[in-house]
Structure 1
C-alpha cells in the first residue's frame, strides 16, 4: 500500500506528468499570475507523500492538472485543503448610497456584518475626512423633487408600524441617557437589522415610506451614537453616514442636520475641531430654514465645541451665545422629538464642555454646577461628565482635595453606567493627577478608582 496523498497520486498518474514537469508548470502558471515560487521536483515529491503545500500552490496544481486532463478540478479533488484567504469585502459602509434601493441594501449589509462578526471594524480607525463626501452630497442635493421611496415587497407596512419604530427609538434613547450605550448597542443593532430587512423591503406608498425612512434614520443614528459611546468609532462613523442618507431619502432636512451635528460631536471628541465646525455649519446651511429654534441651538452648540477644541475663544463665545438666544426663542411647539432633550441644562453642559477645552476652570465649574442643578432625572451620563469636568477644573487650580472629592462623586455616578465617554473623561483626569501621585488624597482616590474599576480600562 502506497502512503501519502492517494488522490493527488492518481491524478498525476492519469495526467502522465513527471514530478519535474509538474514543478515546471506550477512555476509557469505562478509567473503568469505575477508570483515567483521556485517549486522543484522535490517539492512535488513531498506533496505526493502527504505534505500540504502553502497557498496558492493547491490552486495552481488544480489548474495545471485540469488543463492536462481536459476537465475542471477543485483543490479538494486533489486531496488538499483549500486555505485560500477570504475575499476582500467590497462593502466599507463609508460610501454614499446613490439610490434609495442602495440605501436599503446598505443598512441591511452594515447591520448584518456588525451582528455576525464580533470584531467587525474593531481594528479600523475613524477618519474625519470620510464625512466630507456624505455631507456634501446631502447639503448640495437640489431637493426640488423628493426621491420616490415607494416599494413593493412581501409584507404591507402601515403607519402603525412606523409609529412603533419611533416609540422604540424613544425608549432606547431614554435608556441610553440613563445607563450608557455599551450594554444597549447590540440590542439596537439587532433590532435595526430586523427592521431594515423586514420593513424597508416591504410594501408601502410614498407617505408611509417617507415616514418609515425617517424612523429608520433615527434608529440608525442611534446605533451610531451607541457605537460611539462604546468606543467603536469607525463603526459609529458608518452608521452616521447611513443615517444621513436615510434622512435625505425621507426628505427630512432638519433631521439630516441633527445627524450632521452628531457627526461634528464625534469629530471634535476625537480631536478634529476644524472638521466639526465645518460639519455644524454645513448642517445649518443644508437645513434651509427647516430647523426649529431648539434644534438650531443644538447644532450651534456643536459648532461651539469645534471652536473650543481649536482654542478659538471668540468664535466659540459667538456660537454659544447664538445657541443661547435660539434656545430662549423656542416655545417647544414645533420641536421634533429628537431634539426635545436639548434644554437649559444641556446648554449649560455645552458651556462647561467648551470652557473646559478653552482652559477656563472657573467658568467650567460654574456652568457644570448649573447643569447638574437644573437637570432632570434620568441623565446619568451627563451628570457623570459634568462632575468630572468640575473635578478637572479644581485640579487645574491645584485644589487637590476638591478635585479628588468631585472625582469620587463622578466615579460613583459612572459606576452605574457603561459608557466609553465617561471612562475616557475619568481616564484623562487620572492622567492629569500623576504629577501629584505622592499626595495622600491622590493616593486614596487612586486606590478607590482601582478598586471600583478593577478589570476595566479607565
Structure 2
C-alpha cells in the first residue's frame, strides 16, 4: 500500500479512526499550550506520506504510544525527526555567584566564541542587561577569591606563581598597545584564544590568597580587553558579555578601581549604541562604587564617560559640568600613582572627549577646535582616535556647509582608517558618507565618492 506504511500499521494496531487521531493530537497539543487544529483530512495526508510540521510527529508518537502501551519514537512512525535544537542555557549575561562559577563562565564564553563563529550572531546589545551586574558589584562586600591550594583534576592546572600573573599582565599591556595603534579587528580572536587558555589553566590552578587576587585582577584586564576588542569589531552582544564577566572578576580580585574602569567602558558602549541615560547611570555608579579608590586620572576617565552620556541626550549643562570635573581631576593627576590600565588617559584623550561631546551637542565650531587640538597633542598620527577626530572635523565642516573642507577632512580620516581595523572608525565614516547624500550632485562630493570608492569597498563602509 502506498504512503507511510509504518504509520499506517501503528494506526491500524491502535484501532483508532482518523478523526480520533486528530482529536487526540489536538488535545495533546493543548496540554503543551499549543493550538494546532488538525482534522481527519490532515491525518489522511500523513498516512499518504506527507511529513507533518513539528511538533506533530512528537505528538503522534505520544498519542499512539499511550494507546498501544509502549513507547514510540518519531522514527518508529516513519517520520523525520525535525525537532528544533534545544534552547542554549548559557547566555553569558548572568552574574557568577562564586569564584568557581566565574572560572566556568569565562571558559564557557571564550570556548563558544572560538568554536562557534555564529555564537550570539543574531543577538543584540541590551543596556538593561548591565543593571544586575552593576548593582551586584556596587553593593558586594566580603573577600574573594578563596585560596585554591589544589589544582583542578579536570584541567591539570599547576601551581600559579606571581611570575605567571606578571606575564599575563605584560601580555595585556602589549595587546593594548597593538589595539590603540591598529584597531581591534585583527587582534580580537588572538586575545579571546589567549584568554580561554589562561582561564582554563591558570584560574583552575592552585594558588594562595594574595596570588589569587592578583591573578583574578590580571584575568579581569584580559577579559575586559576581549570585550573592548569585540566592541571595536562591531560584536556588541559578545562585548557586553565579556564586560560583565570582567566586572565580576574585578570584584573577585577586590579591585574597586578596576571595576569602575570596566563600568566606564560599559557606559562607553551604551552611549555608542544610543543609550545616553544608561551611560550616565553606569558612570555615576562606577564613580560611587569605586569608594575612593580611583586615582585622579581614573576619576577623569569615568567623568568623561558621564559627560558623553549627557551629550548624547543633548544635556549641555550636565555635559559641561562633567567635562570640567574631568579636567580638574586630570590636572591633579600624578602619573606615578596610576595603574597601567588608565595611564593612556592623557590630555589628548580628554580633549578628544571634549570633541566627541561637542559633536553630539551639535556645536560644530567647538567640535573642530577640540578635535584639531587633540590631533595636535598626539605623537602618532595614525591611530583610531586621530581617525575619529578627523571625521568629527569633517562632520563639523559639513554642518557649516563647507563642502570642500568637509570632503578634504573626510579623505584624511579615511586614509588613516584604512591603516586600522576598527568598526568604530568605519561607523563614523559611514555616518558621514550618509550625510553627504543631499549634496551628491555637487562636484566636490562626486569627486570625493569616486576617489574613495575603492577604500570604502575594502573597509566595508
Q: If the length of structure 2 is used for normalisation, what is the TM-score?
A: 0.91
Q: Which residue of 2 aligns with 1:213?
A: 216
Aligned to 1:265: 268
> Counterparts in 2 of 1:149-160, with a 5 A limit?
150=148, 152=150, 153=152, 154-159=156-161, 160=163
How many angstroms does 1:378 deviate by? 7.8
Deviations 1:250-301 (Å, cap 9, x if unpaired)? 1111110000110111112122222222211211111111112221221121
Q: Structure 1 CA distance, aligned partners of 2:63 and 2:426?
A: 58
Sort the Cα spacing of 1:431 and 1:51 in 2 relative to 1 into closer, same or farther, 3 A: closer
- Match of 1:148? 146
- Structure 1 position 165 matched with structure 2 position 181: no
Name the counterpart of 1:52: 51
Residues in 2 aligned to 1:149 and 1:366: alpha-carbon distance in whole angstroms? 53
What does residue 207 of structure 2 align with?
204
Report the CA distance shift for 1:388/1:337 in structure 2 as closer, same or farther (over 3 A).
same
Aligned to 1:404: 407
CA displacement at 1:232 relative to structure 2: 2.1
2:439: which partner in 1?
436
Q: Deviations over 1:9-55 (max 9, x none)?
A: 45445545555554443333233333343444554444344332221
Structure 2 residue corresponding to 1:294, chosen from 289, 292, 297: 297
1:373-413 CA-to-partner distances (Å, cap 9, x unmatched) read 22133861111011111212222232222221111110101
Q: Which residue of 1 aligns with 2:349?
A: 346
CA deviations 1:166-214 (Å, max 9, x no partner) are 2222222222212211222223223323332333233333222222211
Structure 2 gap segments, 5+ residues each: none
- Map Cα deviations across residues 70-104 of structure 1 (whole Å, 9 max, x no partner): 33222223332211122222333222222222222
Tell me, yes or no, if the aligned pair for 1:177 and 1:379 is still in contact at 8 Å. no
* Inter-partner Cα distance in structure 2 for 1:24 and 1:359: 65
Superposed displacement of residue 218, structure 1? 1.2
Contact 2:391–2:409 (CA<8 Å) still a contact in 1?
yes
Task: Show the 5 A alignment for 1:257-336.
Answer: 257-336=260-339
Give the C-alpha shift of residue 161 in structure 1: 2.9
Alignment of 1:240 with 2:238, yes or no, is no
Contact 1:265-1:276 at 8 Å conserved across structures: yes
Alignment of 1:158-197 (within 5 A): 158-159=160-161, 160-197=163-200
Would the aligned equivalents of 2:426 and 2:459 in 1 still touch at CA under 8 Å? no
Contact 1:248 1:256 in 2 (8 A): yes
2:418 and 2:459 in contact (8 A); partners too: no
- Provide the rounded CA distance (Å) in 2 between the counterparts of 1:169 and 1:293: 23
Pick one of 254, 257, 261 that aligns with 1:254: 257
Contact 2:382 2:416 in 1 (8 A): no
User: RMSD of the TM alignment (CA)?
Assistant: 2.4
For residue 93 of structure 1, what is the aligned residue in structure 2? 92
| Conservation of the 8 A alpha-carbon contact between 2:134 and 2:263 | yes
> Any idea what SS the aligned residue of 1:453 has?
helix
How far 1:442 moved relative to its partner? 1.7
Contact 2:276 2:308 in 1 (8 A): yes
Unaligned runs of 5+ in 1: none
Q: Which residue of 2 aligns with 1:386?
A: 389
Equivalent in the alignment of 1:81 = 80
Q: Cα 1:114–1:66, aligned 2, differ >3 Å: closer, same or farther?
A: same
TM-score, normalised relative to structure 1: 0.91
The answer as to whether partners of 1:149 and 1:249 remain within 8 angstroms in 2 is: no
Structure 2 Cα separation of the partners of residues 209 and 70 of structure 1: 58
Partners of 2:230 and 2:147 in 1: CA distance: 28
Aligned residue pairs, count: 456
* Contact 2:213–2:252 (8 Å) recurs in 1: yes
Residue 321 to residue 37, structure 1, CA distance change in 2 (3 Å): closer
**Superposed displacement of residue 6, structure 1:** 4.5
Contact kept? 2:160, 2:205, Cα under 8 Å: no
